[in-house]
Structure 1
Amino acid sequence: MERVLRPHAEQEYAHELERLAEFDDRGRPAGWRLSPWAVTTYLMGGELPDGTVVTPKYVGSRRLMEVAVATLATDRALLLLGMPGTAKTWVSEHLAAAVSGDSTLLVQGTAGTAEEAIRYGWNYARLIAEGPSEEALVPSPVMRAMRLGSVARVEELTRAPSDVQDALITILSEKTLPVPELNTEVQALRGFTVIATANDRDRGVNELSSALRRRFNTVVLPVPATAEEEVEIVSRRVAQLGRALDLPALPAGLDEIRRVVTIFRELRSGRTEDGRTKVKSPTSTLSPAEAISVVTQGLTLSAHFGDGALHPADLAAGLQGAVVRDPATDGLVWREYLETVVRDRQDWRELYRACRDVS
């Protein structure tokens, strides 16, 4: 496990899940490893009676997580909706890890996702040699989750073609997957559910049909409400990535992280923090996920080509790359922001010069 770049949630946080299970004396829905209370504690963080600290996996509204967990305890599927970078995938992985101990039953939605990814496929060599049989059938992650009574995850559901999306309708409504070639069906065991994620900001999105939407309870994950929340999210995630990549410890770069978060929030909202100056917004989303990427890249530059401390020069190229996605329009927005906002802030002079040099 020490050589794995990114362990699954149930692997990386196995100790926390084990300790939660030991102290969890509340009722558990059929097929669940933990009670809804313990699942929410795993997501939001807390301290157990023996002093074990459960680290927060989600920074934001506890009520939102309670609603998401309560949905999974019913016969409804859960749809996590929000703009890119609002931790939809992160939350779905940790929910699956806490509920069923397995976050790997995953379907990735893309323009090329086929219906077999939702239903089942065939080992065509055996199919031709032997005809349709249970041995020739290749179960999808969703079918495996139904057989195990586990959580299946569907990432970027709106990127999959509409006919592929609709393959979920029978599964979610009847909790059954027909296999007409074998004159049989797979009935879901108790504990089976689906967590899907979607956003409607990117290009190439296929809207969900009303029939499919009705089979989901939707929880909208917002961008962080305050700058401090966003700084905490970015700091925590960068620290995790830094440990995996053997990068320097984070505290030396907290001031730079706050600057990155401030820039992203101001450009997203179209107004400076004090509300006095309006700024133009670029076409990029500038989500916390992109802030994490900018800071991680800066730490890597500093570790391999600098003194190990995070400086504005380490962030400048990443900032420009995150903001300027369309050179014709975003380039002008970024230069105007540098000249009207960044240049006039006394303690931002080094960042201003670094960004100007890159530009």
Structure 2
Amino acid sequence: MTDVLRPHAEDLYAEELAVLAKSDDRPRPPGWRLSPWAVTTYILGDGDQITPKYIGPRRVVEVAVATLATDRALLLLGVPGTAKTWLSEHLAAAVSGDSTLLVQGTAGTAEEAVRYGWNYARLLAEGPSREALTPSPVMRAMTDGGIVRVEELTRMPSDVQDALITVLSEKTLPIPELNEEVQARRGFNVIATANDRDRGVNELSSALRRRFNTVVLPVPATAEEEIDIVSRRVEQLGRSLALPEIPAGLEEIRRVVTVFRELRSGVTEDGRTKVKSPSGTLSTAEAISVLTSGVALAAHFGDGVLRAADVAGGIRGAVVQDPVSDQVVWREYLETVVRERDGWSDFYRACRDAG
């Protein structure tokens, strides 16, 4: 896997999954590779051999894992950048050992992505048959007794969403062309993700929503928690991208996280100064992206130390999505907050130069 840019979770963390499977003597639901307790340990880490994949409230993960052990599907809901996709991938890897069964929801997602399609050459030559049928990831998960992931569920057209209703309620997928049906094997379930900023795009029908247990993923509660998340992911991405190793740059990580949190919440962290919020989300994922780009700049075009100048351009790009209104917000924040903050003069100059 050394040549793969982004290995799947079950490949990247195969050793950890094997360690847990070997020592896991707790009851496992039918079709599961690990017990619910071991899945939760894999996600949150144990402080020793198992590294944390998700940093957040333990109860949130426990509820998500317990849901997958029932007949209800799981909907991970949250603002952008709260690790919905990341968590769904690792849940699928730990439960069924395969995180690759994926339906990507977009405005153009067709019903075949949820049900099945056809090999039209064989269909025309031989007529409807199992050999001419092209199974969707949902059908494959039902057949194998695995987890299928549906990303950005609310971006899919409503009629495509509703194709899931029979699958989730009856655990069957009818194939009327063949007068057959596929019945789900034990271990089958669905993990869907949705961005709560997309409410109103393609709202879930009440019938479909009832088939899901919704777990809301919160934004990091404290700055220290967010700094920890960002630091870990930047380090992991640096290794996977084979970036030259540079010092941790904790000060710049702290600055980026502080800027994002203050602009996101509309108030400085000491609560003394209100600031305007830009149109973008300024999520934890965007902070990770800004800092990873900064590391690449420092490694290839700098002196090997992450500095304010390496992240300033990325921050401005993340904040200024609307070139008119967001530019005003950013400039005002620089002059009223950053300029007056002790020890931030280099950061202020770098951001001014980047603008």
1:68 matched residue in structure 2: 64
Distance in 2 (alpha carbons) for counterparts of 1:151 and 1:238: 28
Query: 2:9–2:99: 8 Å Cα contact kept in structure 1?
Result: yes
Distance in 2 (alpha carbons) for counterparts of 1:303 and 1:87: 27
SS in structure 2 at match of 1:278:
coil
Per-residue Cα deviation, 1:1-50 (whole angstroms, up to 9, x for no partner):
10100000000000000000000000000000000000000000005xxx
1:19 matched residue in structure 2: 19
Q: Does 1:198 align with 2:173?
A: no
Query: 1:230–1:288: 8 Å Cα contact kept in structure 2?
Result: yes
Q: Which amino acid aligns with 1:8?
A: H
Per-residue Cα deviation, 1:31-71 (whole angstroms, up to 9, x for no partner):
00000000000000005xxxx51000010100000000000
2:253 is aligned, of 252, 257, 261, to: 257
Cα deviation, residue 247, structure 1: 1.9
Query: 1:108–1:155: 8 Å Cα contact kept in structure 2?
Result: yes
For structure 2, list consecutive stretches of 5 or more residues without a partner in the other structure: none
Q: Which moved more, 1:242-251 or 1:72-81?
A: 242-251
Distance in 1 (alpha carbons) for counterparts of 2:126 and 2:248: 64
Cα deviation, residue 203, structure 1: 8.5
RMSD, matched Cα? 1.1
Distance in 1 (alpha carbons) for counterparts of 2:108 and 2:10: 29
Per-residue Cα deviation, 1:298-348 (whole angstroms, up to 9, x for no partner):
011111111111100000110000000011111000000000000011211
SS in structure 2 at match of 1:53:
coil
2:314 is aligned, of 312, 318, 327, to: 318
Alignment of 1:96-111 (within 5 A): 96-111=92-107
SS in structure 2 at match of 1:293:
helix
1:172 matched residue in structure 2: 168
1:216 matched residue in structure 2: 212
Cα deviation, residue 249, structure 1: 3.6
Query: 1:302–1:308: 8 Å Cα contact kept in structure 2?
Result: yes
SS in structure 2 at match of 1:46:
coil
Q: Which amino acid aligns with 2:269?
A: E
1:272 matched residue in structure 2: 268
2:139 is aligned, of 143, 147, 166, to: 143
Query: 2:247–2:306: 8 Å Cα contact kept in structure 1?
Result: no
2:5 matched residue in structure 1: 5
Distance in 1 (alpha carbons) for counterparts of 2:329 and 2:163: 43
Per-residue Cα deviation, 1:257-297 (whole angstroms, up to 9, x for no partner):
00000000000110001000000000100000000000001
Q: Does 1:345 align with 2:341?
A: yes
Query: 1:157–1:165: 8 Å Cα contact kept in structure 2?
Result: yes
Cα deviation, residue 201, structure 1: 1.3
Distance in 2 (alpha carbons) for counterparts of 1:300 and 1:203: 36
Residues 202 and 323 from structure 1, CA distance in 2 versus in 1: closer, same or farther, beyond 3 angstroms?
farther
Q: Does 1:283 align with 2:257?
A: no
Same amino acid, percent of matched pairs? 78
Q: Please, what TM-score do these two structures have when normalized by structure 2? A: 0.98
2:41 matched residue in structure 1: 41
For structure 1, list consecutive stretches of 5 or more residues without a partner in the other structure: none
Per-residue Cα deviation, 1:185-217 (whole angstroms, up to 9, x for no partner):
000000000000001314983111111100000
Query: 1:256–1:312: 8 Å Cα contact kept in structure 2?
Result: yes
Cα deviation, residue 230, structure 1: 0.4
